[in-house]
């Protein structure tokens, strides 16, 4: 299990995500990546094998700087699928849902079979990708990202620290915790998530540690936490 950092702010969040990844490096990892909601709420992603500096180099090579006020970043320690660009997080379903995940989804083979039948195309060998597709599936019958994530979590067996964003709900981040730590950082210019408070020390020292089974909904000015029962 490795690192997660993310947030929703009123300025470009890219520098904070990269700084957070660098602060999480001490944990060891094999690849890293980030996703941002860029112009017109498009999910824009970059990933790289090896050190965070490789990701930074890739981002610098882009002619158009990747900028966004909402984003997620991840350092991966591969459990399912070799360390590679395509297996690095964030994972994306149908250009609409993006997730970063720490932990292991034990029933991913069954979920994958079901999702292939539902028409989902898999672009990685990870257990994580089923989470993105499950959320996309439930979004088809719901207008609430929170609700779609809660329904998806009920289908998962295993452990997760999770961050989710959606191109259709650019003003929200959903976070969840079960068997893998996750915390919320309350900042002056926005709200944040991380697997370790080290990642957020430049923006806040106010933290809420999620409890087992909690799901959190973050907007720029508000954080709401639901327990496993949905209360
Ligand atoms: N099981 C996931 C994967 O292999 C997440 C690994 C992690 O916690 O970094 O991609």
Tens-place pLDDT, residues 6-59: 999 999 999 999 999 999 998 889 999 999 999 999 999 999 999 999 999 999
Q: Which atom number of ligand 1 is nearest to the Cα of residue 88? A: 10
3-state secondary structure of 161: strand
Strand order of the β-sheet with 215-218 is 91-93, 97-102, 160-166, 173-178, 215-218, 223-226
Find the 145 Cα to ligand 1 centroid distance in Å: 23
- Give the whole-angstrom CA distance, residue 97 versus residue 140: 12
Quick one: what percent of the chain has pLDDT higher than 90?
Answer: 94
Q: Name the residue of 24, 29, 78, 156 whose CB sits within 8 Å of the most ligand 1 atoms, as the mutation to test its pocket.
A: 78
**Mean pLDDT computed over 71-78:** 98
- Checking if the pLDDT of 1 tops 70, the result is no
**Mean pLDDT computed over 116-137:** 98
Q: Which atom number of ligand 1 is nearest to the Cα of residue 2? A: 9
Query: What value does the mean pLDDT of the chain take?
Result: 96
Q: In whole angstroms, how large is the CA radius of gyration of the chain?
A: 16
- Give the whole-angstrom CA distance, residue 18 versus residue 9: 15
Find the 21 Cα to ligand 1 centroid distance in Å: 15
Nearest to 88 by CA among 46, 118, 59, 116: 46
Q: pLDDT band for position 71 (50/70/90)? A: very high
More confident residue, 50 or 61: 50
Quick one: what percent of the chain has pLDDT higher than 70?
Answer: 100
Ligand 1 binding pocket, CB closer than 6 Å: 1-2, 76-81, 101-104, 126-128
Name the pTM for this structure: 0.97
- Checking if the pLDDT of 121 tops 70, the result is yes
In the chain the first and final C-alpha atoms are separated, in Å, by: 28
- Give the whole-angstrom CA distance, residue 128 versus residue 86: 12
Backbone φ/ψ region at 95: left (φ over 0), alpha (ψ -120 to 50), beta:
left
């Amino acid at each position: 299990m490795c690192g997660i950092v993310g947030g929703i702010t009123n300025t470009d969040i890219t520098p904070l995500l990269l700084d957070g990844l660098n602060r999480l490096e001490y944990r060891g990892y094999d690849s890293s990546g980030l996703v941002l909601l860029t112009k017109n709420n498009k999910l824009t992603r970059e990933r790289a094998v090896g050190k965070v500096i490789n990701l930074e180099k890739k981002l610098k090579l882009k002619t158009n700087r990747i900028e966004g006020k909402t984003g997620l970043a991840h350092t991966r320690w591969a459990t399912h699928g070799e360390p590679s660009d395509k297996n690095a997080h964030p994972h994306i379903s149908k250009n609409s849902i993006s997730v970063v995940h720490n932990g292991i989804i034990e029933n991913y083979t069954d979920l994958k079979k079901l999702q292939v039948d539902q028409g989902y195309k898999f672009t990685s060998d990870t257990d994580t990708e089923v989470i993105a597709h499950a959320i996309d599936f439930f979004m088809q019958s719901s207008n609430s990202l929170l609700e779609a994530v809660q329904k998806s979590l009920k289908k998962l067996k295993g452990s997760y620290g999770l961050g989710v964003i959606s191109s259709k709900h650019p003003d929200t981040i959903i976070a969840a915790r079960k068997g893998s730590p996750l915390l919320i950082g309350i900042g002056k210019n926005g709200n944040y998530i991380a697997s370790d408070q080290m990642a957020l020390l430049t923006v806040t020292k106010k933290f809420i540690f999620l409890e087992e089974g909690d799901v959190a909904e973050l907007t720029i000015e508000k954080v709401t936490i639901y327990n496993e029962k949905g209360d």
